[in-house]
Amino acid sequence: MSAVPTGERQPAVPEDRVTINDVARLAGVSRQTVTRAMNDMSGISAETKARVLRAAARLEYRPNRAARAMVRGPGTTLGLVIRSLWNPFFAEIAESVIDAVHARQWNLHLSYVGSNGRDALSVVRDMAPEVDAIVGYLPPDISRELPSFTGPLIQLDISGTTGQDAGFRFDLTHDLGLVVQRFADSGRRGVAMIDGSVHGGPSVRAPIFTELAREAGVLDDRVGVTLTDESPEGASAAVREMLDRSPDVDGLFVFNDVMALGVMHELTRHGLTIPDDVAVIAMDGIRLGAYSSPPLTTVDLDPRGLGHAAVAAVGDVLAGDAPRRGRGAQWQRRHALLVRQSG
């Protein structure tokens, strides 16, 4: 018995694929001449080139990318894994990663973990054999689940974990300090938080925020943190539930911008005005936040900068200029508060 793969395999190789030899034969030239014609190389006459291109078109010839990549060198492919694309925060990160990757002549594989019911591990497992490096929002220490993947793996947010993952660590004490300060400055005394569930559990932002808010004397201790889905729908529901429990909340810190949209929607529906009755501050800095009503006050996480930085980090690791794991591969970022009208 011959060795067989355990899992099923690709649809096998098609019979009818047309190769460079077919084109050469039809055009009455050699392989090399076809190559010259297809790749705009010198050393070929105009007539011959035209004849070859005509033959190629007639056969619907498409050069085999794998064969070409093999001899030319494989290039670099980056894998990006984010949570949903419909959330503009991740979409903006994706945009900047696309830009940065294109500038380096790399390829990109994009996937997302979200409403499609796929979990991060299975997405990354599928992606790993196809890419040279991975960037994304992934569970801590995921590289332990991927022993066969030896390329660089960079987390877009490792705040809160103490592991050895490479990635970006947000200075939450600084960032959330700004938020708390803002609530205090505008005289709020009953601030609560709507948290978004990340890998099934609460976020790291919640305990840090509540501690800072309590210290500053602005926290509504009766309400505290409400945990819900990372979506406007979830946020709306959380607000309804919260308003039932405690009608006198006067400030809300929301996990992210799209959730804040759901929050403001729900507050308005209940006849509350923002920010007079309830101030709303969120985190992300999406472009559309400037056009909500009222415009959203938020921590500007600078998604475009984050994407660029991540690609640059991958480049450094690949070039051997940065360590692959551990403290030396963790970069801290601190952000500014984008003050608009909502809080």
Can you give the binding site for DNA, defined by CB under 7 A?
Answer: 1-3, 5, 9, 13, 17, 19-21, 28-35, 38-39, 42-45, 47-49, 61, 63-64, 67-68, 70-72
Which position among 73, 185, 319, 321 is part of the footprint of its own copies (CB under 8 A)? 73
**Token pair of 213, please?**
């808010």
Residue 295 sits in the site that holds its own copies (CB under 8 A): yes
Query: What whole-number distance in Å separates Cα of residue 168 and Cα of residue 155?
Result: 6
**Interaction partner, residue 245 (its own copies, DNA, none; CB < 5-8 Å by kind):** none
**Interaction partner, residue 31 (its own copies, DNA, none; CB < 5-8 Å by kind):** DNA
Residue 220 sits in the site that holds its own copies (CB under 8 A): no
Residue 162 sits in the site that holds its own copies (CB under 8 A): no
Name the residue nearer to DNA (CB basis): 1 or 319.
Answer: 1
Name the residue nearer to its own copies (CB basis): 46 or 71.
Answer: 71
Query: What whole-number distance in Å separates Cα of residue 33 and Cα of residue 272?
Result: 74
User: Which three-class secondary structure string do you get for 82-135?
Assistant: ECCCCCHHHHHHHHHHHHHHHHCCCEEEEEECCCCCCCHHHHHHHHHHHCCEEE
Q: Among all chains, which residue has been given the structure tokens 């505290």?
A: 224
The residue among 253, 272, 246 whose CA lies nearest residue 191 is: 253
Question: C-beta of 55: minimal distance to its own copies in Å?
Answer: 12
Question: C-beta of 196: minimal distance to DNA in Å?
Answer: 40
**Interaction partner, residue 110 (DNA, its own copies, none; CB < 5-8 Å by kind):** its own copies
**Interaction partner, residue 15 (its own copies, DNA, none; CB < 5-8 Å by kind):** none
Name the residue nearer to its own copies (CB basis): 1 or 46.
Answer: 1
340: exposed, middle or buried (Cβ count in 10 Å: 0-12, 13-18, 19+): middle
The residue among 14, 20, 12 whose CA lies nearest residue 61 is: 20
Question: C-beta of 35: minimal distance to its own copies in Å?
Answer: 8
Instruction: Tell me the CA distances in angstroms from 35 to 20, 30, 46, 66, 274, one per residue in order.
Output: 8, 9, 14, 15, 66
Q: CB–CB of 232/265 below 8 Å?
A: yes
Which position among 45, 46, 47, 66 is part of the footprint of its own copies (CB under 8 A)? 66
Instruction: Tell me the CA distances in angstroms from 328 to 21, 220, 318, one per residue in order.
Output: 52, 39, 15
Hey, which residues between 227 and 246 contact its own copies (CB under 8 A)? 232, 236
Which position among 22, 48, 110, 237 is part of the footprint of its own copies (CB under 8 A)? 110
- Secondary structure (3-state) at 48: helix
| Of 63-71, 164-172, 180-188, 325-333: span binding its own copies (CB under 8 A) | 63-71
